[in-house]
Amino acid sequence: MGTGSTISLPYRRYALGLLLAVNLLNYIDRQVLFAVFPLIKIDLNLSDTALGFLGSAFMFSYMLFAPLFGWLGDHWSRTKLACGGLVVWSLATALAGFAPGYRTLLAARATVGVGEASFGTVSPGLVADFFPKERRGQILSWFYVAIPVGSALGYLLGGVLGQQYGWHAAFLLVGLPGLFLAIPLALLRTPPRGGVDAPNPAGEGKNSIASYAALFKNRAFVCNTLSMAAMTFAIGGLAQWLPSFLHRFHSLDVAKGNTLFGATTVMAGILGTMAGGWLGDHWQKRSGKGYLLVSGWGFLVGTPFAVWALLAANLTSCMIAIFIAEFFLFLNTGPLNTVIINVTKPAVRAMAFAVNIFFIHALGDAVSPSIIGWFSDRWELRSALLITPCAMLLAGLLCFVCGRFVVQDMAKVGSQ
């Protein structure tokens, strides 16, 4: 394993680029399902509740396997776990292209969740460890720019391929590219746990049950996780149902609706994610709760625009509001994930992300697609989607609560 002194800056940038590329495929394969929702609904004759459960099945397996991979990530090779996860989710996505019916498609999407859980628990800490502590917000923002770009590409590719060749072909064609990155990911050299400036790399991986249990006594970690859960509830519901919303209420076909929504997500996501990383690092130097202030205000400002997007009478107003709401949603991505790293010790960081993944999805997008689908079957989709701005508002308030504890909990971690 490499050390902080032997890994050159060009290699660190290469590592960031490689992990960013894998994370990009992560979100392409995750979001392609929602682009072809209308096609699957018609082909398999599904209710909105059953359709929403396809998304929830992925999240259930994602969150249930995260603690296992979190423990492994603190004791075993992080690159091997990341590589194994990439292979599993890529194959599962491709095999969804051969699914003859609902049950096999459901099983394939659940398996995608297993693979992505392996990568998701170890990759944020791995990325952060390549660079100094004071740059974590910006570095993680580069890594998480894969969320809007990958999600948008998932919508774009799914919409275009699904419209032209059918939803089976869409899954097959987006799943295969991940296998080409498996070997370089497996061979990636890594820094010591805790970062390139870690004072005690020899102690990496040493932890105990008490160390894991202490995560639940870490008030900043708990509040930050609850805020991310509320955010994930909103993002998960909007991401899975907005393409269908545009199809039903603004009469856009699958290709055009996903292209428009995907392009909006790319622009808003890149600008919001990068702005959040820069603002977070800037304000963190002035205040120990700088990351949380940026995120909290981002949620509060974005909430009324989410309401406007859903109630807008015409497509132009709707898309402008979606752009602004997404900008402020993505503003928090780098800062809130940096908070997790800053308030947890390196030896338990993979488990910290695993616990975070479990709860943000258990309380967030593992349930929001099905809940919105259930309400949609009884009311209508527009009314059902209005619960998402309420979740955004809650996320912002929890950021400010977290700010009361974060400085003290960061001090406990010390130089790590």
Domain that holds residue 94: 9-186+214-413
| Six token digits for residue 201 | 């790399």
Lowest mean pLDDT among 3-17, 169-183, 233-247: 3-17
Judge whether 206 lies within some domain: no
Angle between helices 102-129 and 9-35 (to 10 degrees): 160
Which pLDDT tens digit goes with each residue over 45-70? Answer: 888 788 878 877 887 888 889 888 88
CATH code for position 144? 1.20.1250.20
Maximum Cα–Cα distance across the chain: 61
Q: Taking all residues of the chain, what is their mean pLDDT, rounded to a whole number? A: 85
Judge whether 196 lies within some domain: no
Round to whole Å and give the CA distance between 382 and 367: 18
Which pLDDT tens digit goes with each residue over 234-292? Answer: 988 887 788 888 888 887 877 787 778 878 888 888 899 889 888 888 888 888 888 99
Nearest CA among 133, 5, 18, 22 for reference residue 87? 22
Q: Determine what percent of the chain falls in helix, strand and coil, rounding each to the nearest 5.
A: 85, 0, 15
Round to whole Å and give the CA distance between 251 and 212: 50
Domain count along the chain: 1
Judge whether 1 lies within some domain: no
Question: Cβ neighbours of residue 281 under 8 Å, at least 6 residues apart?
Answer: 134, 135, 136, 137, 138, 290
Judge whether 4 lies within some domain: no
Round to whole Å and give the CA distance between 275 and 273: 6
Round to whole Å and give the CA distance between 306 and 72: 39
Judge whether 380 lies within some domain: yes
Give residue 54's pLDDT: 85
| Residue 186 pLDDT exceeds 60 | yes
Which pLDDT tens digit goes with each residue over 67-113? Answer: 888 888 888 888 899 999 999 999 999 999 898 889 999 999 999 99
| Six token digits for residue 327 | 């900008």
Judge whether 144 lies within some domain: yes
Judge whether 203 lies within some domain: no
Give residue 367's pLDDT: 83
Judge whether 208 lies within some domain: no
